[in-house]
Homo-oligomer: A and B are copies of this chain.
Amino acid sequence: MTEIDPETPAQAAEEKPELREGEYELDRTLVTGVLEAVDGANAVALDGLLEPLHPADIADLLEQISGPERRAFLSLWSTGLDGEVLSELEDGLREEVIEFLPAHVLQGAVRELESDDVVDLVEDLQQEQQELILGALNTVDRAVVEDALSYPEFSAGRLMQREMVVVPEDWTVGQAIDFMRASETLPEQFYHVILVDPAYHPVGYVTLGRILGAPRSSHLRQMGEDSFRTIPVTQAEADVAYAFNQYHLISAPVVDEDERLIGVITIDDAMAVLDEEAEEDILRLAGVGSDESVSDRTMETVRQRFPWLAVNLVTAILASLVISQFEEILAQIVALAVLMPIVASMGGNAGTQSLTVAVRAIATRDLTGANLLRVVRREAVAGLVNGLIFAVVMGVIGVLWFGTPALGGVIAVAMVINMVVAALAGILIPIALDKIGVDPALASGAFVTTVTDVVGFFAFLGLAAAVLI
């Protein structure tokens, strides 16, 4: 990479400031201070330490200390937990904290929250805890939250806020400004004025920046943004997050099945969803329950990891069954036992590479009918080329190590076969799972590993049995 720079490269390297990395971690001394204050039951010191912190950082702190420390902390914290800290906590811990808090503290905390945050808070709770929280809300807020809960989980309806600024499409900038100035409760957060027709269908939006820069007589209709697009209330939140990132949206009106405006989603919520979706894919690809976190208790960790290990045990036993078919030749040529894991391991890794690229490409809509065949062909050829390279390397190593040219040939051929099969399995299995509605991140790994283990051992030992005896 070369860059334009008036100085010579040497000077530039000298003068270019260094990248600062790894900020925003909780300060170790702060955590120690907090724990000391809790330990000494010093409520004043605790409040003083927490006062300057963002609720998200207090939530992180609660996540990073131990269970007993957390309970002592919550008992001592005199100002009580505010609603924002509660909504920043991760799901597992939130339930623990809610159970621990006295009802009046909990209800006070909830009353401060925006409706979309209350929805996020209650949707995963047990009925009893839900009732407790909903009971703290006034009738209007409660109705709003219950309405949101009537939409499917993970839908735009759960993500949207009701607070928005809506004006008739034929208004001018001056009318909109007067309306906002006269309004008693503008939303905490809004970036657009949404234009609707008489049937309350959203027909466009105007950014606040353009309204502030335009003469009062300008017609809003003529100032609408090109980026305008509405989101159906039942749309999956993962799709919503994709749309925000793809189309650089800042906010987007949500409509019901009659295309009528019922809410708005803002980019900060979409960003949080995008982050969660990526997290989920990463953890699922590794066979970890997608809501596992470092603050889980040990038994929760055991439970989250168990299923994938159980699946893996089955595939490993399948592979062993393949090996057991060749006990006779293994007993004769022990070098086969030494070399056979290499073939399976290289196939497993090549398969994981292909499937990870495929899973991501499906998630980002980059793998479609338009390029499917070409991508499959590319995977096969790439598998073949890398297979040939490593076959030659491994063939030579096999010959040098065991002095048997035929053994080198067998491992080379088995390697090529397994790496091509791995590449194909890595791309075709996620696509097939996606087609039948199974999350490819969740299930592809088990299938691909089974294929590469079985094919790897079978090709290597089968060829050996055919050639070496």
Q: Is the CB of A330 within 8 A of B323?
A: no
- A285 contacts the other chain (Cβ, under 8 Å)? yes
With known contacts A22-B239, A155-B19, A316–B267 Cβ distance under 8 A: no
Q: Is the CB of B235 within 8 A of A209?
A: no
A25: chain B residues at CB < 8 Å are 365, 368
Which listed residue (B180, B248, B294, B319) contacts A366, Cβ 8 A?
B294
A151: chain B residues at CB < 8 Å are 16-17
A323: chain B residues at CB < 8 Å are 337-338, 341
Q: Mark A164-187, 1 if CB is under 8 A from B, else 0.
A: 010000000000010011010011
Q: Is the CB of A18 within 8 A of B349?
A: no
A368: chain B residues at CB < 8 Å are 25-26, 28, 31, 64
A interface bracket (residues with beta carbon within 8 Å of B)? 35 or more
Chain B proximity of A249: nearest CB distance (Å): 8
Task: Identify which of residues 331-348 in chain A touch chain B, using a CB-to-CB cut-off of 8 Å.
Answer: 331, 334-342, 344-346
- A106 contacts the other chain (Cβ, under 8 Å)? no
Q: Is the CB of B181 within 8 A of A209?
A: no
Task: Identify which of residues 367-388 in chain A touch chain B, using a CB-to-CB cut-off of 8 Å.
Answer: 367-371, 374-375, 378-379, 381-382, 385-386
A292: chain B residues at CB < 8 Å are 357
Task: Identify which of residues 297-344 in chain A touch chain B, using a CB-to-CB cut-off of 8 Å.
Answer: 297-299, 301-302, 305-306, 308-310, 312-313, 315-317, 319-320, 323-324, 327, 330-331, 334-342, 344
A301: chain B residues at CB < 8 Å are 378-379, 382
With known contacts A287-B352, A323-B338, A209–B234 Cβ distance under 8 A: no
With known contacts A213-B181, A301-B379, A378-B298, A320–B342 Cβ distance under 8 A: yes
Which listed residue (B245, B294, B371) contacts A294, Cβ 8 A?
B371
Q: Is the CB of A320 within 8 A of B305?
A: no
Question: Closest residue of chain B to A329, judged by CB?
Answer: B334
A18: chain B residues at CB < 8 Å are 152, 234
Q: Is the CB of B191 within 8 A of A370?
A: no
- A250 contacts the other chain (Cβ, under 8 Å)? yes
A159: chain B residues at CB < 8 Å are none
Chain B proximity of A34: nearest CB distance (Å): 9
For the complex, give the distance between the alpha carbons of A233 and B18 in Å.
10
Which listed residue (B213, B282, B349) contacts A282, Cβ 8 A?
B282
For the complex, give the distance between the alpha carbons of A26 and B56 in Å.
37
Q: Is the CB of A186 within 8 A of B208?
A: no
- A200 contacts the other chain (Cβ, under 8 Å)? no
With known contacts A209-B190, A356-B282, A294–B381 Cβ distance under 8 A: no
A464: chain B residues at CB < 8 Å are none
Chain B proximity of A408: nearest CB distance (Å): 14
Which listed residue (B17, B134, B212, B342) contacts A152, Cβ 8 A?
B17
- A288 contacts the other chain (Cβ, under 8 Å)? yes
For the complex, give the distance between the alpha carbons of A233 and B1 in Å.
21
Q: Is the CB of A305 within 8 A of B389?
A: no
- A3 contacts the other chain (Cβ, under 8 Å)? yes
Q: Is the CB of B242 within 8 A of A294?
A: no
Q: Is the CB of A313 within 8 A of B4?
A: no
Q: Is the CB of B20 within 8 A of A234?
A: yes
* Additional A-B contacts beyond A21-B236, A191-B209, A313-B390 (4; CB < 8 A): A4-B130, A25-B368, A302-B382, A340-B341
- What are 29 A-B contacts defined by CB distance under 8 Å? A2-B130, A4-B146, A4-B149, A20-B155, A21-B239, A24-B365, A31-B370, A66-B371, A177-B212, A189-B209, A208-B208, A245-B272, A267-B271, A271-B274, A274-B278, A283-B357, A283-B360, A285-B286, A286-B356, A288-B357, A294-B357, A295-B371, A298-B382, A309-B346, A313-B342, A317-B342, A320-B341, A324-B338, A330-B334
